[in-house]
Amino acid sequence: MPEYKIAIVGKPNVGKSALFNRLMSKRVSIVEPTSGVTRDRLYGSIEWMDKSFTIVDTGGIDSGAIGKMSAAISRQVKLAVDESDLLVFVCDGMSGLSSMDKEINRLLKKSGKKTVCVVNKIDNADMAGNIFEFYALGIDDVLGVSAIHGRGIAELLDLITEEVGPSESAGEDLTRKIAVVGRPNVGKSSFVNALLNDERMIVDDVPGTTRDSIDTRFNDGEEDFILIDTAGIRHKRKMKDTVEVFSFARSRRAIARCDAAFVMLDAVNFVTRDDIKVIDMVIEKSKPFVILVNKWDLIKDMQMERYEKALRMRLSYLNYVPVVFTSCVKNRNIKEALKPLKKSMAHSSARCTTHALNEILKDINKARPAQLAGSRLKHMVQTGTNPPEFILFRKGAAKDTDKVRRFVENRLREKLELTGSPIIVHFKKS
């Protein structure tokens, strides 16, 4: 049976994202008293009374707003309405029924979809009478709730489940997650859209267009993945408001929960301090990743080989990370970028026998790097995967353990073909 979808719609700043978060029981969408904070469609799965369904959070419908961004949000709302089975029309119980509410109601009626009117901000019993004027919309089901305080949420879920067909309870989702990360305006959402062949993320030339980390299921013809498009990451000193601070935190969490990442750079700007910040965040979480050099169509006077050589000199500590040159405008190397990332994920989950590791260790001892003076590596075992983790037993004290560690890591990558995957090596005295 196809998944039942419910779209949350309404004018800006009525509490749609607060309701979405309350239904999801966690802060998934950024909530701020700023019109237009939710710009993309956000998806979340819910189980209630042995029934499962998907909630879709949308940007506010604002017919009076001007500009490309508002038009893009309205287009996203239309797409959400078109793909949904039930519409939850959120209105503001404090400000009352407005002309914009009536206009939105007319648009929703044209869709022919079943609609529930949720009057939000009914924070106490004294405000319950505020819902009555909303019956003028002609919607059969009108319900007063407080998304912030949780009033009326169980009743809303009961109402939704009456419309949802029977479904099996979902188990743990083991689908691998891929985060697309980078500083603002490098083309992350354009890349995700090109990969999906779908206008899921709003794409504009305004930095910060994507403010939420958005999960989208995707199949490359071989297996399912969940793509996470994230807000642009930049240094904390450059953040202008609390929305940016929350976006930064959400992007950090997206990196923490992903299985692998695409780190996107802008070919025109080469490598910036903010790019380094993003890369460091991925390395800190020990995630396999691939560097995407996007907007390659804008580079006219340099060959890829020269550019990559300069890039690897600038990022010399990332010699194990694959680099792919992409152009979302020209649809160049979009699908192809998945191949090295899938290899990196496979390398990250690889296991090696103790016998094979100790054969590699013999080669390392024969090489006798200068840092091993006064020390000998005796034995090595693998203790974990994702990423591969090793314990190396040594006799004596090495001069520079960090240099020995890098030497061992490089030999392990070379012998075990661990391209794209971080490696963790611990030393113990035997």
33: how many CB neighbours lie within 10 A of its CB?
A: 6
In this prediction, residues 171-197 reach a mean pLDDT of 83
Phi-psi region of 413 (alpha: psi -120 to 50; beta: other; left: phi over 0): alpha
The residue to which tokens 């029934």 are assigned: 51
Please report the beta strands in 333-423, taking only residues with DSSP state E, as ranges in sequence order. 375-384, 389-396
Among 14-18, 163-167, 253-257, 265-269, the range scoring the smallest mean pLDDT is: 163-167
Whether 117 shows a pLDDT value over 90: the answer reads yes
35: DSSP letter = T
SS3 73: helix
From 142, 163, 184, the end of a domain falls on 163
- What does R_g of the chain's alpha carbons equal in angstroms? 26
What span, in angstroms and rounded, lies between the C-alpha atoms of 115 and 86? 6
What span, in angstroms and rounded, lies between the C-alpha atoms of 427 and 430? 9
Whether 345 shows a pLDDT value over 90: the answer reads yes
Please report the beta strands in 241-354, taking only residues with DSSP state E, as ranges in sequence order. 260-266, 289-294, 323-325
Q: What pLDDT does residue 201 have?
A: 45
As beta bridge partners, residue 218 has: 225
Q: Is residue 62 part of a domain?
A: yes
What span, in angstroms and rounded, lies between the C-alpha atoms of 45 and 23? 10
Domain carrying residue 42: 5-163
Residues near 106 by beta carbon (within 8 Å), at least 6 away in sequence: none
- List the CATH number of the domain containing 31: 3.40.50.300
Question: pLDDT band for position 385 (50/70/90)?
Answer: very high
Structure tokens at 346: 């496979």
- List the CATH number of the domain containing 421: 3.30.300.20
Asked whether residue 375 falls in the same domain as residue 336, the answer is no
From 311, 332, 347, the end of a domain falls on 347
Question: pLDDT band for position 295 (50/70/90)?
Answer: very high
Asked whether residue 10 falls in the same domain as residue 154, the answer is yes
Question: pLDDT band for position 313 (50/70/90)?
Answer: very high
Q: Which helix (H) or strand (E) holds 99?
A: helix 99-111
* Angle between helices 354-367 and 401-416 in degrees, nearest 10: 120
Q: How many CA atoms lie within 13 A of 327 on its CB side?
A: 10
Q: Is residue 106 part of a domain?
A: yes
Q: Is residue 171 part of a domain?
A: no
Asked whether residue 227 falls in the same domain as residue 333, the answer is yes
Residue pLDDT, tens place only, 66-115? 444 445 445 656 777 788 889 999 999 999 999 989 988 888 888 888 99
Among 63-72, 200-209, 276-285, 334-343, the range scoring the smallest mean pLDDT is: 200-209
Whether 341 shows a pLDDT value over 70: the answer reads yes
Residue pLDDT, tens place only, 222-277? 888 888 877 655 554 544 444 445 456 567 777 888 899 999 999 999 999 889 98
CA atoms 197, 201, 202, 208: torsion sign: negative
Q: What pLDDT does residue 170 have?
A: 45
Asked whether residue 210 falls in the same domain as residue 305, the answer is yes
Count of domains forming the chain? 3
Q: Is residue 169 part of a domain?
A: no
Question: pLDDT band for position 376 (50/70/90)?
Answer: confident
Q: Is residue 304 part of a domain?
A: yes
SS3 166: coil
Residues near 168 by beta carbon (within 8 Å), at least 6 away in sequence: 52
In this prediction, residues 384-402 reach a mean pLDDT of 79
Asked whether residue 185 falls in the same domain as residue 311, the answer is yes
Asked whether residue 316 falls in the same domain as residue 359, the answer is no
| pLDDT mean across residues, the chain | 79
Q: What pLDDT does residue 231 have?
A: 60
Nearest to 415 by CA among 357, 330, 337: 357
Asked whether residue 261 falls in the same domain as residue 182, the answer is yes
* One-letter identity of residue 163: E
Q: Is residue 50 part of a domain?
A: yes
Nearest to 27 by CA among 17, 40, 13: 17
What span, in angstroms and rounded, lies between the C-alpha atoms of 379 and 358? 6
Phi-psi region of 397 (alpha: psi -120 to 50; beta: other; left: phi over 0): beta
